[in-house]
Amino acid sequence: MLRADVTIEPSEVQVLVENHYPFRVTRLEKVRAAYRVETDQGVYALKNARKMKDLGYIAEVVEHVKKKGFTRLPAPIPTKDGQWLVTYRDHLYCMEEWLQHVEEVSPKRHDWLGSAAGALAQYHACFKRYRRSRCPSGRQERSWWPRFLMAQWHWLRDIRTGWASPVNGMEHLSFLQYRLQLAWQSWERAEKWRRSGDGPIEVLCHGSLHHENILTDGKKQVWLIDYERMAWDDRVRDLAQLMQYHFPRHGWPEQEMSRFLESYHKEYPLRASEYVALCSRMAVPPKLFRLARNVWFSSGRYPSLLRRWDDTIRTEKRKDPYLAYLYHRG
């Protein structure tokens, strides 16, 4: 995956900013993929906008969310002539607010997850009366999940009939098949609720809830940043993604996961159908099948890859009791 990095020199950044924005640059600092730009009007971030060609829509969404009461997110900054994107040497760039006095959450800890769940619920609640038709077609992905499950079924069928198995391969394939069956059955149950009008709630999901995009301030309030991957989908997509990012390293602790969902539920109650839909999403995390494909299609099947594969399966199996809980709670 290509990283949207700002690769131009500081002198070029200064010229770009001062030519297109009503600021005078006083200091520049490269921070990961972006530039921290101090100006006479405040502090901003200059980012590569390769993934944000519809930044005007993102700006509209940020404004909508802030008007609905969730203000803990950075806003894009328009240029002097009211545009959202700047082209320089065939690359697109944009500016947004730089959040002061915040820090990334630690992936090694989980004491922030309850606050993150509450903040995510508050963000999702901003879309209670948001019309799906306002979302560009390229960001409408509710049909993505069943198509993904079907693609994995086809891949699993082809693997069983045409590819040599690595160490523990058949045992692991049986596990993948079990998880796919659980995911499909859970999705079908959730769809029955949807047809009756009580299915999973659709929102504009954040879509990228890893630790670099979740910040806390001095009051332990959670901020959400980087909306490049926003997508219209069931809100459990965000819940599953955040849980998949952060709970495996802690051994899938059932009490912590339950507290996480309760923190969300207090802010924006979950429907019965959504526990089942969440089971479907968590049963088949996309990373699991991406790794499986690497294992089966790797010509060398290096020992490190096979060890990672075995470790991943062991970690995934620790999740099984909680998946059963989600499935039967619905």
pLDDT for 209 beyond 60: yes
pLDDT for 260 beyond 80: yes
**Which domains, and CATH codes, for the chain?**
10-100 (3.30.200.20), 113-329 (3.90.1200.10)
Q: Please give the distance of CA 323 from its chain centroid, rounded to a whole number.
A: 20
**Angstrom distance (rounded) from CA 214 to CA 208:** 9
pLDDT value, residue 52: 87
**Angstrom distance (rounded) from CA 17 to CA 296:** 48
Encoding tokens for residue 312?
A: 């991943």
pLDDT value, residue 2: 39
Q: For 101-130, write each residue's pLDDT tens digit.
A: 999 999 998 889 999 999 999 999 999 999
Q: For 59-74, write each residue's pLDDT tens digit.
A: 999 999 999 999 999 9
Query: What residues have CB less than 8 Å from 76, skipping those under 6 apart?
Result: 55, 58, 59, 62, 84, 94, 95, 96
317-327 mean pLDDT? 96
CB under 8 Å, gap of 24 or more: what pairs does 167-174 form?
167/306, 168/310, 168/313, 169/296, 172/292, 172/309, 172/313
308-322 mean pLDDT? 94
pLDDT confidence tier of residue 161, bands split at 50, 70 and 90:
confident
**Angstrom distance (rounded) from CA 164 to CA 4:** 37
The percent of residues in the chain predicted with pLDDT above 70, rounded, is: 95
Helix (H, G, I), strand (E, B), or coil: what is residue 77? strand
Burial 144-157 (b: 16+ CB within 10 A, else e): ebeebbeebeebbe
Quickly tell me which residue has 């089971």 as its tokens.
279
Kindly compute the dihedral angle of the four CA atoms of residues 179, 184, 187, 193, in this order, to the nearest 10 degrees: -130
The whole model's pTM is what? 0.93
CA of 229: how far to CAs of 60, 210, 215, 315, in Å? 15, 12, 17, 27
pLDDT for 3 beyond 60: no
The amino acid that residue 319 corresponds to is K
pLDDT value, residue 169: 65
Asked whether the beta carbons of 235 and 121 are under 8 A apart, the reply is no
pLDDT value, residue 164: 61
**Angstrom distance (rounded) from CA 30 to CA 16:** 15
Burial class (CB in 10 A: 0-12, 13-18, 19+), 255: exposed
pLDDT for 1 beyond 50: no
Asked whether the beta carbons of 184 and 289 are under 8 A apart, the reply is no
pLDDT for 199 beyond 80: yes
The percent of residues in the chain predicted with pLDDT above 90, rounded, is: 83
